Amino acid sequence: MALALNLNGAVWGRLMAPALVIVVLAMMILPLPPFVLDILFTFNIALAMIVLLIGLYTLKPLDFSVFPTVLLVTTLLRLSLNVASTRVILMEGNTGPDAAGKVIEAFGHFLVGGNYAVGLIVFIILVVINFVVITKGAGRIAEVSARFTLDAMPGKQMAIDADLNAGLIGEEEARRRRAEIAREADFYGSMDGASKFVRGDAVAGLIIMVLNIVGGLTIGVAQHGMSFADAARTYTLLTIGDGLVAQIPALIISTAAGMVVSRVASEEDLNQQLMGQVFARPQAVFLTAGILALLGIIPGMPHVAFLLMAGLLAGLGFALLKRQAARAAAPAEQVQPPPEELAEVGWQDVTPVDRLGLEVGYRLVPLVDRSQDGELLRRIRGIRKKTAQELGFLVPPVHIRDNLQLKPGAYRILLKGVTVGEGEVQVGKYLAINPGKVLGTVPGQATTDPAYGLPAVWIEAAQRTQAQTYGYTVVDAGTVVATHLAKVINEHAPELLGREETQQLLDHVAKQYPRLVEELTPKLLPVSTVQKVLQLLLEERVPLKDIRTILETLAEHAARTQEPDELAAAVRMALARAIIAEIFGGAHELQVMALAPSLEQILTQALSGRGAEGAGLEPGLAERLVRETQAALETMTRNGLPGVLLVGQPIRAVLSRFLRRVVPELKVISHAEVPDGRSVRVAAMIGA
């Protein structure tokens, strides 16, 4: 039952604001009886007083950040009441001064003594005060504050970043301060626009007053047969009462607006600041009292008023002196706590380097902000999941932080603290990537895809469909960053497989095959050797999904050799069927590149038994090998064939390592890795 009450309370709490706005708008259409008008006018005055008192006790403007919206709602409420009361005044005004309710009657008779000329002047004075003085001043303060706040944002953010780098604040506190800076700029900008509501309200009040008087005279004389004097008196007093009962709350709300925007952020409310600053100097109070006393004894001056005020100020000055003396008599030296000893530098002061990091400019923060459910966070989780499924091990988490030294829309990807990828995106726009064949061009800002370097154009959301029709690949800013990150992860997968990740992989396999892992490590091979073998496989884009076969092969050959290269070659032989299937699919005929027999014999003599990448090759031979390999690869690509080089087993590993530097997309396999049942056809010869 308590849960039901809480849920009902939450539902009603969320319905109150929409219901209030709907009721306010309904009052412009539905006729209201005089008693309901009395209640609503009283509510309007009470609401204005509440807003004024909240403004007085607010410590800083952001504590009342909803004030621009409150200003709009109260303005709509006053205008709705004006419309409702105008309807009643024009329809029932001939019945008497209480036709539109007791509140309007009280403001029309008692406050201005029933004199409609006096009431008219008082009403115009209130409108001028509200329109020319308070609202214009508050709007100007809000405008200047918004401009200065925007100009100061970069400096404030750099100061926050400096405090964060110095360790004075944490990331949560830095994020909170940056959000507060943004809210402050939004608040003053909203206040600058909201002040226009009050200004328009004052103009509307004058127009409504004129329409009420003219319309009342016309209706009273023409329809109800009243004399011109009676109609003027009756309808003018009702109109003046209606205008005053609306303009007084408007004046209160405008005063609250001026107090809120003119406040300087402090730990004290307005009352404490006035008492602490205005009356902080008894000398000023005594001097003022003396001047008033001198004026009071001049013949012809109002002696009682001046001398009475001088006496009150003198009493206040003595009270302030007594208060200062009491403070001076208090113990001057307070017991100071012993200074904290400076902590010795320890290992906690050494910040570890993240294996994988992402730094973003401040415009990209919403994409990675958990509180805003940033879409890039979800994409990164998806990338890690997909990478784990494809590579066979869990990639380390991506540590994300904002960096104010970057351009607002820039980002960079770091591997072990070193930048390995960077780019710049435009939030809210789409990147149209030209895959090579497009039917037309789309207008936009020309650029290149950060991940693959393809020509691209930043376009507006409205051009997305047109770009897709032309054949462009259209992605948003989050997808651009995520794609670049995925490419970096795949390219540097061997470096991301550290000792800790290898141990976690072995621990995971041990849950299913405990005997296999127990036999392999540490009895036959140390974890470091297993890690090196796995890294060698990842360097050649061999996934670790079939980890059982990999570990079984290592256990089988560990007694014969401990060399990672030889163990990796044995594993590749065991995974040959999967390696070939990933490259050629289900094709029975493997179309590959091959070395001319004479060239392969030379390379075998030069590279056999050498662990270095390309060691033993003379420069001319190495240059010729690279050049002809690139030419053969271009031929294979034009024919739609995979870039695969078939060589002998003794030189496969060294040749693959050597050619991967200049032709990273090339795959090198050996004759021993071709499964039974598959035929080989040489589609391009190198060194013929």
pLDDT score of 2: 43
Is residue 572 left, alpha or beta, with left meaning phi > 0 and alpha meaning psi from -120 to 50?
alpha
C-beta of residue 461 within 8 angstroms of C-beta of residue 430: yes
Cα separation, 196 vs 206, whole angstroms: 16
The 3-state secondary structure of 584-629, one letter per residue:
HCCCCEEEEEEECHHHHHHHHHHHCCCCCCCCCCCHHHHHHHHHHH
Residue 58, CA distances (Å) to 190, 280, 386 in order = 18, 21, 51
Residue 522: asked if its preceding bond is cis (omega within 30°), the reply is: yes
pLDDT score of 533: 93
pLDDT score of 339: 58
Residue 376, CA distances (Å) to 286, 365, 387, 511 in order = 66, 10, 16, 33
> Which one of 1.10.10.1800, 1.10.8.540, 3.60.10.10, 1.10.240.10 gives the CATH number of domain 497-574?
1.10.8.540
- Within this chain, domains 497-574 and 586-688 share the same CATH topology: no
Cα separation, 398 vs 503, whole angstroms: 19
Q: Structural domain boundaries of the chain?
A: 12-145+193-273, 279-322, 356-495, 497-574, 586-688
Burial 575-588 (b: 16+ CB within 10 A, else e): bbebbbeebbeeee
Helices (H), 639-676: 649-660
Cα separation, 133 vs 566, whole angstroms: 88
Domain 356-495, what architecture?
3-Layer(aba) Sandwich (3.40)
Residue 685, CA distances (Å) to 357, 530, 644 in order = 43, 36, 12
List the structure tokens of 270: 């307005």
Which CATH superfamily, name and number, covers 586-688?
Answer: FHIPEP family, domain 4 (3.40.50.12790)
Q: What is the pTM of this model?
A: 0.52
Average pLDDT per consecutive 10 residues, the chain (688 residues; last block may be shorter) = 46 66 74 78 80 74 73 78 77 66 69 64 74 68 67 67 64 78 72 68 73 74 71 72 74 74 56 59 75 78 76 79 72 54 66 85 84 78 87 88 88 92 91 87 92 91 87 89 91 90 91 90 88 92 91 91 91 92 88 90 74 61 88 89 90 88 88 88 86
Burial 234-251 (b: 16+ CB within 10 A, else e): bbbbbbbbbbbbbbbbbb
Q: Which residues touch 685 (CB under 8 Å, ≥6 apart)?
A: 593, 594, 595, 596, 632
C-beta of residue 484 within 8 angstroms of C-beta of residue 423: yes
